[in-house]
């Protein structure tokens, strides 16, 4: 927030911390960050800030003045913010324990009503894998899908088509895309042949996007591939990180069974995008249209969840549930993508809270939701969000929120599938098969017969061949992920 | 830590779904399972020489029984050929045949369904049922789920709770 650093978050103490808590937190932080100890880069700067924080907060007079300024700054920022944020917690109070405990947060980000609705300009790059395996129906479908999207372009939009095998070239430049006849002719030149080097395609696609970068719009890269990239994974990941810094989201579309779902997931999750698994190329046109429609409805882009967690709190995992389910990382900031008028961004955070002793209240996190409001004049907006929780000797008797339970249930199934796959890779096929059978039971209970059947047949395959099929892996992964899109059973969504 | 009732996987307090088997953990008691340092159990158990119980215990009329060392209380085991040992928790579906809750079982590290005593033709067997803190017979830890022959006077330790087996069966029979 402008001008007022949050010293409480810095020290990991609640805003109503007493002198003793403050002193303890300061000592702990000062010891940890002291320049005499072996430190990480940046610790010394933190050490200076911590000292400054202690200086202000330990003086009653300075502290009350600071509290007023901080509250005013935050209230002002919240009122002006274009975002609303609602946080549901799994419990209303933590237990005062000498051991770690798990706590979940369900964070909902919505636009405030004051945000004007304009269709944002769309800056799109379609990056197509034209390796030999794409030959035939796959490439035909991709070609016609690209053409359909180019037809839908509105005047302020910009689009390009890039194709790559072991090298990349621009097939349709943004200028050529404006004229359908030229675009059609250029697309017909697109022929399959060569290997798969995703990094080449990503790089060129991103260059095209930067050329027409839309500050007041969405900048989006759709990567269509059916194969594995060899040897340039690191380049891909660093490009995804750069994309995230520049505000470009990457959407991965995997066709068939041979593509690397882990790489695509990683690219999308770093940049706030999504990954879609297509077992048949026939639906590509419909899919690209849905992606395009989604982009045209965005009213805020480059949404992030940043901030600081209390010292006793570790983020163990995070999962974006809406608009597109996607596992995210275990460190802030979380890159969340676009927000639409009717939609919301919903994130599930799993945190481990280390022993909290006798404190009455813990300021779990001080988050900042930030993003750019699109359309008209682009402006950055942010919203500070404080998450606190009481602590008690007795467990909270109330059940956790229904939405949160329903989401955790499905995320649990997703993780079982991940575990089984991991075990299968380690050669523990009996264990993996047992886990998949267990997963099938849960899937049946959830009413998803097809997915349950897939899990069972993979379990059987494991006992016979000791490995999973590459297609089955993806069916289970994206199938359990898609369960999060269904209306929540417990408590309603 | 809390324990998943279905697969006994240990999870942090506050976890809502078992990460191993996907079972919902909401109904599990939100208080942690008491864990006791292993070496401490062993040391205590090793220091105990099993004393053969004399007259008074057997005069209680029990053919088979457990004497709780700390309180001296005797629980007789009558009328069945197997008994589960453990502690009850409010709302728990399965209650052990021998409920040790009144004997500070939780603090002593006794699991809810901790162990079983089985009467077989050739004697009395103790089986550890995958308890959190283990079962020891005369200071020797049992392998979970593997029945071990026990004799009259043996010290059976559940977590940290010590009991002595009273048995008129002669295992040598």
pLDDT at A119: 85
Flag whether pLDDT at B56 surpasses 50: no
Please tell me the distance from the alpha carbon of residue B131 to that of residue B85, in angstroms, as a whole number: 10
At A99 the pLDDT is 85
Q: Which residue has the higher pLDDT, A187 or A39?
A: A187
Share of chain A above pLDDT 70, in %: 97
Task: Assess if residue B173 is contained within a domain.
Answer: no
pLDDT class of B60 with cuts at 50, 70, 90? very low
Number of domains into which chain B is organized: 2
Q: How would you classify the pairing of strands A326-328 and A361-373?
A: unpaired
Q: Does A95 touch chain B (CB under 8 A)?
A: yes
Task: Check if the beta carbon of residue B3 is closer than 8 Å to that of residue B10.
Answer: yes
Distances B15 to A390, A418, B12, B26 between C-alpha atoms, Å: 18, 19, 6, 8
Same structural domain, B87 and B9: no
Question: Are both B146 and B74 inside the same structural domain?
Answer: yes
The verdict on A474 touching B (C-beta cutoff 8 Å) is no
Q: Is the pLDDT of residue A1 over 90?
A: no
Specify the length of chain B in residues: 173
- State the pLDDT at residue A418: 92
**Mode of pairing for the β-strands spanning A326-328 and A313-322:** antiparallel
d(CA A250, CA A230): 19
CB nearest A101 (choices: B12, B17, B26) = B12
Whether residue A102 lies within 8 A of chain B, CB to CB, comes out as yes
Q: Specify whether B149 is located in the same domain as B95.
A: yes
Q: Identify the pLDDT of residue A383.
A: 87
- Of the residues A95, A101, A348, the best mutation for testing chain B's interface (the one with the most B CB atoms within 10 Å of its CB) is A101
Residues with Cβ within 8 Å of A478's Cβ and at least 6 positions away in sequence, in order, are A261, A275, A276, A277
CB A85 within 8 A of CB A107: yes
Please tell me the distance from the alpha carbon of residue A372 to that of residue A120, in angstroms, as a whole number: 11
Judge: B16–A90 Cβ closer than 8 Å, yes or no: yes
What residues does each domain of chain A span? 1-80, 122-296, 402-485
Residues B11 and B84 in one domain: no
Q: Which of B12, B22, B24 sits opposite A102 (nearest CB)?
A: B12
pLDDT in tens, A394-443: 887 788 888 888 889 889 999 999 999 999 999 888 889 999 998 998 88
User: CB–CB of B98/B85 below 8 Å?
Assistant: yes
Q: Which residue of A has its CA nearest to B15?
A: A102
Q: What is the structure's pLDDT at B62?
A: 54
User: What does DSSP assign to residue B129?
Assistant: -
**CB contact set of B90 (below 8 Å; sequence gap of 6+):** none
Say yes or no: B78 and B140 in one domain. Answer: yes
Fold designation for A1-80: Helix Hairpins (1.10.287)
Per the domain annotation, does B172 fall within a domain? Answer: no
List pLDDT tens digits, range A429-481.
Answer: 888 999 999 899 888 888 888 899 999 999 999 888 888 888 888 899 998 88
User: What are the respective helix, strand and coil percentages of chain A, to the nearest 5?
Assistant: 45, 25, 30
Find out whether A102 and A291 touch, Cβ atoms under 8 Å.
no
**Rg, C-alpha atoms of chain A:** 25
Q: Determine the CATH number of domain A122-296.
A: 3.40.50.410
Q: What is the mean pLDDT of residues A214-223?
A: 90
- Contact by Cβ (8 Å): A150, A180: yes
Mean pLDDT value across residues B151-156: 88
Over residues A369-403, the pLDDT tens digits come to: 988 888 766 678 888 888 888 888 888 778 888 88
Whether B76 is in a domain gets the answer yes
Is B27 found in the same domain as B5? yes
Q: What span, in angstroms and rounded, lies between the C-alpha atoms of A370 and A333?
A: 10
Q: What pLDDT, on the 0 to 100 scale, is given for residue A104?
A: 94
- Residue B151, domain extent: 42-167
* Identical fold between A1-80 and A122-296: no
Q: Each residue of A229-276: pLDDT tens digit?
A: 878 889 999 999 999 988 899 999 999 888 889 999 999 999 999 999
Kindly report the pTM of this predicted structure: 0.69
Confirm if A102 and B15 have CB atoms less than 8 A apart: yes
**Which of B1, B14, B91 to mutate against chain A (most A CBs within 10 Å)?**
B14
Q: How far apart are CA A46 and CA A49, in angstroms?
A: 5
**Which residues 352-381 on chain A approach chain B with CB closer than 8 angstroms?**
352-353
Q: Examine the domain organization and report whether B104 and B79 are in the same domain.
A: yes
State CA A392 to chain mean position distance: 33
Q: Mind telling me how many Å the CA of B110 is from chain A's nearest CA?
A: 19
Mean pLDDT of A141-161: 89
Sign of CA dihedral A21, A22, A27, A30: positive
Q: What is the DSSP string of B42-54?
A: HHHHHTPPPPPP-
Closest by CA position to A112, among listed A378, A383, A368: A383
Range with lowest mean pLDDT among A25-34, A92-101, A126-135, B70-79:
B70-79
Q: Do B16 and A408 touch (CB under 8 A)?
A: yes
Through-space distance between the first and last CA atoms of chain B, rounded to whole angstroms: 44
Q: Kindly report the CATH number assigned to the domain that includes residue B111.
A: 2.60.200.20
Chain A residue at shortest CA distance from B31: A395
Regarding whether B91 and B26 lie in a shared domain, the answer is: no
Residue A220: pLDDT over 70: yes
For residue B55, pLDDT beyond 50? no
Nearest 5°: CA angle at A263, between A262 and A269?
85
Dist. CA A324–CA A249, nearest whole Å: 13
Residue A76 makes CB contacts below 8 A (sequence gap 6+) with none
Residue B172: predicted pLDDT: 38
Are residues B23 and B99 located together in one domain of the fold? Answer: no
ipTM, interface predicted TM-score of the complex: 0.72
Strands A298-309 and A313-322: unpaired
Residues of chain A with Cβ-Cβ distance to B24 below 8 Å are 405, 409
Residue-by-residue DSSP string for A221-245: EEEEESS---S-HHHHHHHHHHHHH
Residues B57 and B142 grouped into a single domain: yes
**Closest CA–CA distance from residue A398 to any residue of chain B (Å):** 10
Pair (B46, B92) in one structural domain: yes
pLDDT at B40 over 70: no
Asked whether residue B7 falls in the same domain as residue B81, the answer is: no
Residue A313: strand, helix, or coil? strand
What residue in B sits closest to A397 (Cα-Cα)? B30
What sign does the CA torsion over B18, B24, B26, B27 have?
A: negative
* B138 preceded by a cis bond (ω within 30 of 0): no
Of B1, B14, B31, the CB nearest to A103: B14
Q: Provide the 3-class DSSP secondary structure of residue A403.
A: helix
pLDDT (tens digit per residue) in A4-39: 788 887 887 777 778 888 899 899 888 888 878 766
């Amino acid at each position: 927030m402008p001008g007022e650093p949050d010293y409480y978050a810095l020290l990991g103490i609640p805003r109503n911390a007493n002198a003793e808590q403050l002193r303890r937190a300061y000592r702990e932080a000062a010891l940890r960050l002291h320049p005499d100890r072996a430190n990480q880069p940046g610790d010394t700067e933190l050490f200076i800030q911590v000292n400054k924080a202690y200086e202000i907060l330990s003086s009653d007079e300075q502290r009350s003045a600071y509290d007023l300024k901080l509250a005013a700054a935050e209230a002002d920022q919240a009122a002006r913010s274009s975002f609303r944020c609602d946080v549901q917690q799994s419990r209303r109070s933590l237990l005062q324990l000498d051991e770690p405990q798990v706590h979940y947060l369900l964070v909902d980000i919505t636009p405030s009503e004051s945000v004007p609705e304009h269709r944002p300009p769309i800056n799109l790059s379609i990056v197509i894998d034209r390796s030999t395996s794409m030959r035939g129906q796959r490439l035909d479908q991709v070609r016609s899908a690209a053409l359909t999207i180019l037809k839908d372009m509105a005047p302020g939009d910009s689009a390009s088509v890039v194709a790559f095998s072991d090298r990349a070239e621009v097939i349709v430049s943004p200028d050529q895309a404006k004229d359908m006849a030229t675009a059609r002719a250029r697309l017909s030149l697109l022929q399959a042949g060569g290997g798969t080097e995703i990094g080449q395609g990503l790089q060129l696609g991103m260059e095209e996007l930067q050329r027409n970068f839309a500050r007041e719009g969405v900048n989006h890269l759709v990567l269509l591939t059916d194969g594995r990239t060899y040897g340039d994974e690191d380049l891909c990941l660093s490009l995804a990180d750069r994309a995230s810094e520049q505000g470009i989201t990457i959407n991965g579309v995997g066709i068939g069974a041979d593509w690397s779902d882990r790489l695509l997931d990683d690219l999308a999750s770093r940049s706030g995008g999504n990954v879609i698994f297509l077992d048949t190329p026939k639906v590509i046109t419909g899919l690209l249209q849905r992606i395009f429609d989604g982009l045209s409805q965005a009213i805020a882009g480059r949404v992030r969840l940043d901030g600081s967690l209390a010292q006793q709190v570790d983020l163990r995992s995070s999962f974006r549930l809406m608009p597109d389910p996607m596992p995210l990382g275990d460190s802030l900031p979380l890159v969340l993508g676009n927000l639409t008028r009717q939609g919301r961004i919903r994130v599930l955070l799993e945190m481990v809270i280390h022993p909290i002793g006798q404190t009455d209240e813990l300021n779990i996190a001080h988050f900042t939701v930030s993003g750019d409001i699109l359309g008209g004049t682009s402006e950055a907006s942010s919203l500070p969000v404080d998450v606190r929780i009481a602590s008690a000797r007795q467990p909270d008797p109330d059940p956790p929120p229904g939405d949160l339970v329903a989401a955790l249930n499905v995320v649990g199934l997703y993780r079982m599938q991940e575990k089984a796959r991991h075990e299968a890779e380690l050669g523990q096929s009996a264990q993996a098969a047992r886990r998949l059978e267990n997963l099938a039971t849960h899937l049946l209970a959830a009413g998803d017969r097809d997915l349950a059947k897939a899990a069972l047949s993979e379990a059987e395959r494991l006992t016979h061949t000791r490995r999973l099929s590459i297609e089955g892996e993806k069916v289970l992964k994206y199938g359990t992920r898609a369960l999060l899109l269904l209306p929540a059973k417990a408590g309603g969504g | 830590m809390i324990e998943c009732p279905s697969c006994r996987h240990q999870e942090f307090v506050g976890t809502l779904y078992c990460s191993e088997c996907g079972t919902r953990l909401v109904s599990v008691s939100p208080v942690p399972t008491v864990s006791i340092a292993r070496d401490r159990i062993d040391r205590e158990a090793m220091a105990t020489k099993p004393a053969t119980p004399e007259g008074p215990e057997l005069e209680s009329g029990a053919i088979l029984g457990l004497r709780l060392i700390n309180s001296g209380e005797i629980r007789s085991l009558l009328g069945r050929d197997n008994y589960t040992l453990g502690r009850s928790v409010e709302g728990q579906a399965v209650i052990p045949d021998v409920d040790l809750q009144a004997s500070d079982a939780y603090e002593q590290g006794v699991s809810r369904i901790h162990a079983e005593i089985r009467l077989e033709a050739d004697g009395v067997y103790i089986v550890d049922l995958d308890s959190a803190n283990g079962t020891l017979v005369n200071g020797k830890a049992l392998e979970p789920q593997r029945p071990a022959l026990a004799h009259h006077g043996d010290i059976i330790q559940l977590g940290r709770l010590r009991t002595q087996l009273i048995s008129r069966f002669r295992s040598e029979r």
